[in-house]
Amino acid sequence: MYRHPIPNALTVLTRQRQVRRTGLSTTPSHRKLWVSPESAVAITRNDAFNEPEVLADEDADYNRSLRVLLVDDSDERRKAITDALADVNCQVIGFVSKREDVLSLVQESNPDVVIVDLESPGRDTLDSLRSIQSVTPRPIVMFSQDDQGATIARATRAGVSAYVVDGISRKRVRPILDAAILRFQQLRGMADELEKTRTQLEERKTIDKAKTLLMKQRGMSEDEAYKALRSQAMSTNRRLADIAGIVVEAAQILIKP
């Protein structure tokens, strides 16, 4: 793996070969795969064939059928990608242009992955992708002719899992999708753990605040205040943090002028 001098991106450059504007080739291609460290696929170099090799997950099912939603304004590229996906056990369940409501179709069709195939993603397209990640997060793979660093950075910030420039060979379609899905799942797991930790810290603060209130108003020790909160939680079959929150809210009401 090596780094490329574009912010927040990694790149892999494969064997040089002219690529048709359809975005697909049956031969090894001159291709750049850009990914951000925060939201992208992890890859290594395969020196023998000069192709990026996807890092594998032992528990992943790489043979399962994938349901794909395709965002594309070109009938020619749309057909080429659809045919390539059909060869690798991927079903295109819907098509949408960049001018349509992509979020609504994602919510309705619930695809495993969204593929965006555009010459250059505009602001409206990136806003739509950002909305998808906010409302119903899922892996997004983008094929584009635009290799500008600013565009790549905007796409990754919008939630694109893999950004592929200058086309892709048919045999690489499935590995890129699998890697993007795997990386997306890993990052979602990290985000969930972070949110869990944040929630636990907030609950601890609330419990500590409730204990302090009981200690001041009831003359309790810290241990007695904690036992009182825990006893109330057990008797009402509620969480300790919930009881603490009620105590804090009640105290705030009582001290209001």
Among 26-35, 150-159, 227-236, the range scoring the smallest mean pLDDT is: 26-35
Question: Residue 214's pLDDT band (boundaries 50, 70, 90)?
Answer: very high
pLDDT in tens, 45-93: 333 334 444 444 555 555 788 999 999 888 888 888 888 888 888 889 9
Between residues 74 and 110, the one the model is more confident about: 110
Is 5 part of any domain?
A: no
Is 233 part of any domain?
A: yes
- Please count the other Cβ atoms lying within 10 Å of the Cβ belonging to residue 146: 16
Q: Are residues 143 and 210 in the same domain?
A: no
Full residue range of the structural domain in which residue 249 is found = 197-254
Is 3 part of any domain?
A: no
State the average pLDDT over residues 86-115.
88
pLDDT of residue 11: 33
Which tokens sit at 90? 């991927």
Question: Residue 213's pLDDT band (boundaries 50, 70, 90)?
Answer: very high
| Helix (H), strand (E), coil (C) string for 138-203 | CCEEEEECCCCHHHHHHHHHCCCCEEEECCEEHHHHHHHHHHHHHHHHHHHHHHHHHHHHHHHHHH
CATH code for the domain of 211:
1.10.10.10
pLDDT of residue 52: 41
Amino acid type, 253: I
State the average pLDDT over residues 155-159.
90
CATH code for the domain of 75:
3.40.50.2300
Q: Are residues 84 and 201 in the same domain?
A: no
Q: Are residues 121 and 232 in the same domain?
A: no
Q: Are residues 185 and 219 in the same domain?
A: no
- Does the pLDDT value for residue 170 go beyond 90? no
pLDDT of residue 135: 93
Q: Are residues 154 and 44 in the same domain?
A: yes
Question: Residue 171's pLDDT band (boundaries 50, 70, 90)?
Answer: confident
CA distance 171 to 162: 16
Of 4, 86, 69, 68, nearest to 37 by C-alpha is: 4
- Does the pLDDT value for residue 209 go beyond 90? yes
- Does the pLDDT value for residue 15 go beyond 50? no
Q: Are residues 212 and 120 in the same domain?
A: no
Is 89 part of any domain?
A: yes
Is 141 part of any domain?
A: yes
Among 28-37, 41-50, 168-177, the range scoring the smallest mean pLDDT is: 41-50
- Does the pLDDT value for residue 192 go beyond 90? no
* pTM beyond cutoff 0.85: no
pLDDT of residue 76: 83
The count of domains in the chain is 2
pLDDT of residue 2: 35
Which domain-ending residue is among 142, 158, 191?
A: 191
State the average pLDDT over residues 91-100.
84
Mean pLDDT of the chain: 77
Q: Are residues 63 and 157 in the same domain?
A: yes
